[in-house]
Amino acid sequence: MRLLHYVEIENFKLFGDKQHIELDHPAVIIGPNNCGKTSAIQALALWSQAVRTWYGIRGESKAKERPGVPLNRLEIFSVPVQKTRYFWSNVRVRKGSNKPVYLFITVGVEFQQQVVPLAMSFYNDGDDLVYCKVEEDFSFGSLSEDQKKEFMEYVADIKVELLYPMSGLSTDEPVYQNKFIGTLMGQGRTAEVLRNLCFKCVQEKESNWVEIQDLMERLFQVKLHTPTENAQGHIDLYYTHSTGSKASLELASLGRGFQQMLLIFAYLYSHPGSVLLIDEPDAHLEILRQKQIYVLLRDIATDKKSQIVLVTHSEVILDEAVENNLTLILDGITEDVSIKAKAKSSLKIFGTENYIKARDMGYVLYVEGSTDVDMIQALAKRIQHPVVELVDDRLNAYYVQNIYPEISIESELDRVEMGNETKPGKHFGHLRALLPNLRGLAILDNDGHDRNDATDKGLQILYWRRYEAENYFITPELLRTYTLNQYETGNLFDQVNPDEVQGVLDNLIMERVFGGVEADFNTWKSAPPDSSRLIWETTTKQMKLSTFAEEYFRRLSEKLGRPMLLRKGELHRLVQFVDVKSISNEVVQKLDALRTLLAGV
């Protein structure tokens, strides 16, 4: 049920200029860490408390001027701060000749089949107090005076609750009165009232508890017992596993994800007609459960005439919500992703998280896989290329093998052959249609096809001239040097015979590189160093040297009876042993292009 239609926030925490957030049911708010997601639902909680406080003191007043009423920060449990100035954007509470800077939160409320705005303003009065009041010039819409009174009474009665992720469930929990339960929940101490909420469900309507039992058993294969009050005035709540052992265990023994969902379900069933603000309901839940939880929250809240507003990082929930109500926040700036008609198909195909990362970073890098990123970083570090300073764990890289939304003969051929309409090009094209200034670079394997560099839908595509990135540093000399170094410096029992290492290498080279032709092998083997290297690069240009290197380490392991030194995903560790002078200028060119991408120049 849609009780609140939108919220507008100005001068609150990360929100400086006024930002508008649509609130459907359920409303989902997404964004990177520290972008303002939690601040958005805190603003709703603060607005609700301000409305109730103001109405309780000024609601019946007939005065034309109804001044603000005080709120003590210690009573604003849902938005804890050390000083009230921390509510304000940039902590700025005064301007000019000590004039107050106002904080505004406006909410559009469903009332008598229309959306009515109710604007609350706040000004600072020291470290502990803020004053709030209804801004009547920006509230009430076209309501009559009688309707305004009825409206204020209705809004003040709407229960808006912010539930933070739960932690630290106690082993004993006394039976509390409803008012004290509300106080503890407002303070974020939800772990101290979980059993009370369950007990309340049983007392008010036992059939509600039966439904919760069925839900939890379906989701977690756990059968909850009925909560009861014991002789000490505490609540006992036990469970048994649906399969296996039938021993009765106490609720505190269950996992955090189970407890969090039980808290949310118990609240929804015991507080119908409320607005529930949930901070990361998917926390502690595996991916398979996240979609189930989203659908259940939506349907149960609808049945209970309640509304859900949730903050999440879950990619599963993002992809579900894009069809309905999905707001992206970046650095205090909001964007309603779900209203973009062209966004819906793109985001449903390639994943909402792709759009979020691209919008946040301003670029996309396409490589074959995670090992390519490792090799690029290793090569840049080895030659001390300036791009090293720009590449970190936030690199917005997409792996080509992971961006094929549909599996078909055509898509598999595209993936293998990488024809003119490349998958990275399609992926980037969808993103750039939504983000016109998006920058893109693909550094891809040639796979022996002699592909030419190209531009596809604004995406710069660069191919390695050799088969793959590994071909630019894997040589017999490097493999031998690395091997002997590891056995000399590692914690191994004894040294290896260099001749054994060379024998494994020579046999593999004869077989894989020269196809068993001994004359060609001998020509390469006896050539001067520069000529030998040229023969190696020419002969292996169309070979997958990552496979060659892994096979070498496998055969060496078998020969010596010792663990493999490296596997395919670890070959970037070889780069530190590469002679810098031997690194091709083509590697530098690729790193230059990457630096241009990341620096945005």
Secondary structure (DSSP) of 179-247:
HHHHHHHHTT-GGGTHHHHHHHHHHH-HHHHHHHHHHHHHHHSEEEPPPEE-TTSBEE-EEEESSS---
pLDDT at residue 301 tops 70: yes
Write out pLDDT tens, residues 240-294.
998 877 889 999 999 888 999 999 999 999 999 999 999 888 877 777 788 888 8
The band of 343, judged by pLDDT with boundaries at 50, 70 and 90, is low
Which residue has better confidence, 62 or 212? Answer: 212
Within 8 A by CB and 6+ apart from 44, the residues are: 4, 7, 105, 107, 160, 162, 275, 277, 309
pLDDT at residue 323 tops 80: no
Mean pLDDT across 42-52: 96
In 3D space, the residue among 465, 495, 500, 455 whose CA is nearest the CA of residue 480 turns out to be: 500
Structural domain contains residue 569: yes
pLDDT, position 348: 60
Whole-number Å distance between alpha carbons of 40 and 20: 10
Whole-number Å distance between alpha carbons of 240 and 213: 11
Record the tokens describing residue 207, joined without a space: 């059939």
Q: Which of 23-37, 198-212, 331-345, 569-583 has the lowest mean pLDDT?
A: 331-345
The band of 58, judged by pLDDT with boundaries at 50, 70 and 90, is confident
Please state the φ and ψ torsions of residue 162, each to the nearest 5 degrees. Answer: -100, 120
461 and 489 part of one domain: no
13 and 126 part of one domain: yes
Write out pLDDT tens, residues 561-593.
889 999 989 999 999 999 999 999 999 999 999
pLDDT, position 346: 62
pLDDT, position 64: 67
Helix or strand run (H / E) with residue 48: helix 37-58
The pairing of beta strand 114-124 with beta strand 103-111? antiparallel
pLDDT at residue 28 tops 70: yes
Mean pLDDT across 489-514: 83
409 and 491 part of one domain: no
Mean pLDDT across 458-478: 95
pLDDT, position 404: 46
83 and 201 part of one domain: no
DSSP 74: G
92: CATH: 3.40.50
Write out pLDDT tens, residues 347-381.
666 666 788 788 889 999 999 988 999 999 999 99
110 and 59 part of one domain: yes
pLDDT, position 319: 74
Structural domain contains residue 208: yes
Q: What is the pTM of this model?
A: 0.72
451 and 479 part of one domain: no
CB 221 within 8 A of CB 229: no
pLDDT at residue 418 tops 80: no
Record the tokens describing residue 25, joined without a space: 């049911």
Structural domain contains residue 585: no
Cβ neighbours around 564 below 10 Å, total: 14
533 and 465 part of one domain: no
Cβ-count burial of 424 within 10 angstroms (0-12 exposed, 13-18 middle, 19+ buried)?
buried
Tell me the sheet residues that pair with 6.
22, 108
Whole-number Å distance between alpha carbons of 534 and 38: 59
pLDDT at residue 95 tops 80: yes
222 and 241 part of one domain: yes
Structural domain contains residue 296: no
Helix or strand run (H / E) with residue 434: helix 423-434
Record the tokens describing residue 329, joined without a space: 């926040």
In 3D space, the residue among 101, 99, 107, 97 whose CA is nearest the CA of residue 45 turns out to be: 107
Domain encompassing residue 395: 345-470+590-599
Whole-number Å distance between alpha carbons of 435 and 355: 9
Write out pLDDT tens, residues 72-87.
998 898 898 999 999 9
Whole-number Å distance between alpha carbons of 157 and 75: 18
pLDDT, position 55: 93
Residue 77, helix vs strand vs coil: coil
Which residue has better confidence, 423 or 122? Answer: 122
pLDDT, position 417: 44
Residue-averaged pLDDT of the chain? 88
57 and 195 part of one domain: no
pLDDT, position 419: 37
Record the tokens describing residue 90, joined without a space: 């940039």
Whole-number Å distance between alpha carbons of 450 and 28: 47
Structural domain contains residue 338: no
Domain boundary among 238, 267, 296: 267
Structural domain contains residue 583: no
The band of 412, judged by pLDDT with boundaries at 50, 70 and 90, is very low
466 and 594 part of one domain: yes
pLDDT, position 344: 59
The band of 98, judged by pLDDT with boundaries at 50, 70 and 90, is confident
416 and 386 part of one domain: yes
Domain boundary among 245, 267, 289: 267
Domain boundary among 235, 252, 267: 267
pLDDT at residue 491 tops 60: no
pLDDT, position 97: 76
pLDDT, position 291: 82
What percent of the chain clears pLDDT 70, i.e. is strictly above it? Answer: 92
Structural domain contains residue 452: yes
Residue 531, helix vs strand vs coil: helix
10 and 131 part of one domain: yes
Mean pLDDT across 320-326: 77
Task: Compute CA distances 13 → 23, 41, 116, 379, 402, whole Å.
Answer: 20, 12, 25, 42, 37
Which residue has better confidence, 393 or 471? Answer: 471
Structural domain contains residue 409: yes
Mean pLDDT across 20-49: 91
Record the tokens describing residue 312, joined without a space: 């999440």
Mean pLDDT across 297-309: 94
Mean pLDDT across 149-167: 91
Q: How many domains does the chain have?
A: 4
pLDDT, position 397: 92
The pairing of beta strand 459-463 with beta strand 439-444? parallel
Whole-number Å distance between alpha carbons of 112 and 108: 13
Q: Which residue has the tokens 């939800």?
A: 190
Q: Which residue has the tokens 């990552």?
A: 546
pLDDT, position 329: 84
